[in-house]
């Protein structure tokens, strides 16, 4: 079986859950006899097919024109993808997102009959994307979902949002994001250090400003810890200014974590790989401050990474977090935009070592449900069912 993974950005530019998906899933699918090829937008806009290129994990990747949804579809721009599907003998296209990728997959299906599935992402949520308020955008997403051979959603909440666009319950599957569980084993024995960790895109809707306000309250109460903020984004400078205006000690671009400054707000910039695992494994607890009124999380991979690291969490009360709690996630839930609530719950967790370790132990024991081996088996079954093949 040969699957084309359709995603707009290259693996090098993709971040978050999609990056993890593109890196790990192809590796595990090989054990199911499934060969994957990736296609993304050629940023040089040469109009020609570029590749094959080989990513770090050995994924075969091509780049080429990535048509925009519209009434008229350029046959010239679509041709490189059609030729690639023929030459690579693609059996099924897996589109990451309904709007752009789903639209392209639908055009391929119309022309050469290759079926496709869509995994819904944040691109279909009106809270996250203003364009979803436009009728023509909704119509294009509806068509992509309507003609898809199958649709997968990261959570039931994403399924609900998708069904409001096009009811696909008869071909719907819930498959969450995954983690490389084995990759976390080496950091589990690292000693805990005095800092709490917030990690993710530094954008207003992610709620890091609430963490800074809460941390200022903790400092006023004499709590002995630091706040590490790992990530990059448009709000990074504003967050640093906010912390300084609150009289907090601010450290920027920190890359050395063997000895962290005490009672400080520490910005690391974007981190990944072993450094991210180390930073998460040694914190006192992980903080997940997303603001659901501004951004609906399609999954919340930080939370399952915290489980794999054996960490307790304090998290915004959201549909995503409550869903993960059904899988055993242990987290203290707080009102997303209430800095006082955040400060109180963090302080309680820091002062109660037994509760913190109880949460951590439970989270680690439930993390295996999200191992990429489990997730890949679910996708392999979905691919086989979609193509009417024998179960793999």
pLDDT along the chain (392 residues), means of 10: 90 68 88 94 88 83 91 90 96 94 96 95 81 89 95 92 92 92 93 95 95 98 96 96 97 82 93 90 97 88 96 96 95 97 97 95 96 95 86 44
pLDDT score of 13: 62
| CA geometry: angle 278, 250, 275, nearest 5 deg | 15
Q: Which CATH number fits the domain that encloses residue 215?
A: 3.40.50.2000
Kindly state whether residues 294 and 326 are assigned to the same domain. Answer: yes
pLDDT score of 44: 84
Kindly state whether residues 144 and 164 are assigned to the same domain. Answer: yes
Kindly state whether residues 315 and 382 are assigned to the same domain. Answer: no
Range of the domain at 87: 2-178+371-387
Strand 60-64 to 50-54 pairing: antiparallel
Is 149 domain-assigned? Answer: yes
pTM of the predicted model as reported, rounded to 2 decimal places: 0.90
**Token representation of residue 27:** 């590796």
Kindly state whether residues 163 and 230 are assigned to the same domain. Answer: no
Kindly state whether residues 36 and 89 are assigned to the same domain. Answer: yes
Kindly state whether residues 186 and 117 are assigned to the same domain. Answer: no
pLDDT score of 390: 55
pLDDT score of 88: 96
pLDDT score of 15: 62
Is 70 domain-assigned? Answer: yes
Kindly state whether residues 50 and 112 are assigned to the same domain. Answer: yes
Kindly state whether residues 221 and 242 are assigned to the same domain. Answer: yes
Is 304 domain-assigned? Answer: yes
Name the nearest CA neighbour of 265 among 236, 294, 303: 236
CA 174, CA 190: separation in Å to the nearest integer?
34
pLDDT score of 389: 66
Is 294 domain-assigned? Answer: yes
Kindly state whether residues 170 and 218 are assigned to the same domain. Answer: no
Kindly state whether residues 160 and 199 are assigned to the same domain. Answer: no
| CA geometry: angle 58, 117, 148, nearest 5 deg | 155
Kindly state whether residues 260 and 342 are assigned to the same domain. Answer: yes
Kindly state whether residues 332 and 185 are assigned to the same domain. Answer: yes
Tally of structural domains, the chain:
2
Is 392 domain-assigned? Answer: no
Q: Quickly list H helices, the chain.
A: 16-29, 75-87, 100-112, 135-147, 156-165, 181-184, 208-220, 236-245, 273-281, 301-308, 319-325, 339-351, 353-366, 372-387
């Amino acid at each position: 079986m040969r699957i084309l993974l359709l995603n707009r950005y290259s693996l090098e530019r993709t971040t978050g859950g999609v990056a993890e998906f593109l890196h790990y899933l192809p590796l595990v699918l090989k054990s199911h006899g499934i060969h994957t090829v990736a296609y993304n937008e050629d940023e040089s806009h040469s109009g020609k097919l570029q590749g094959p290129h080989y990513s770090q994990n050995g994924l075969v990747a091509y780049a080429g024109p990535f048509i925009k949804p519209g009434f008229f579809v350029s046959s010239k721009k679509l041709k490189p993808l059609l030729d690639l599907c023929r030459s690579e003998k693609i059996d099924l296209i897996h589109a990451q997102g309904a709007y752009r990728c789903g639209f392209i997959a639908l055009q391929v299906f119309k022309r050469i009959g290759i079926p496709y599935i869509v995994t819904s992402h944040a691109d279909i949520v009106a809270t996250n994307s203003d364009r979803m308020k436009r009728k023509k955008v909704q119509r294009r997403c509806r068509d992509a979902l309507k003609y898809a051979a199958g649709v997968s959603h990261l959570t039931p909440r994403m399924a609900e949002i998708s069904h409001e666009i096009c009811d696909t319950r008869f071909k719907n599957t819930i498959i969450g994001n995954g983690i490389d569980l084995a990759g976390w084993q080496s950091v589990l024995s690292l000693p805990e250090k005095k800092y709490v960790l917030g990690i993710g895109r530094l954008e207003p809707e992610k709620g890091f400003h609430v963490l800074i306000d809460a941390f200022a309250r903790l400092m006023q109460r004499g709590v002995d810890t630091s706040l590490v903020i790992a990530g990059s984004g448009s709000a990074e400078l504003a967050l640093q200014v906010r912390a300084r205006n609150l009289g907090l000690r601010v450290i920027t671009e920190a890359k050395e974590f063997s000895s962290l400054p005490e009672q400080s707000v520490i910005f690391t910039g974007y981190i990944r790989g072993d450094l991210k695992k180390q930073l998460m494994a040694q914190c006192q607890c992980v903080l997940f401050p997303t603001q659901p009124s501004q951004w609906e999380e399609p999954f919340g991979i930080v939370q399952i990474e915290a489980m794999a690291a054996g960490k307790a969490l304090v998290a915004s009360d959201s549909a995503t977090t409550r869903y993960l709690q059904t899988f055993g996630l242990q987290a203290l839930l707080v009102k997303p935009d209430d800095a006082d609530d955040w400060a109180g719950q963090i302080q309680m967790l820091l002062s109660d070592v037994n509760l913190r370790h109880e949460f951590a132990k439970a989270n680690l024991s439930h993390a295996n449900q999200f191992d990429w081996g489990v997730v890949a088996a679910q996708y392999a079954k979905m691919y086989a069912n979609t193509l009417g093949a024998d179960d793999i």
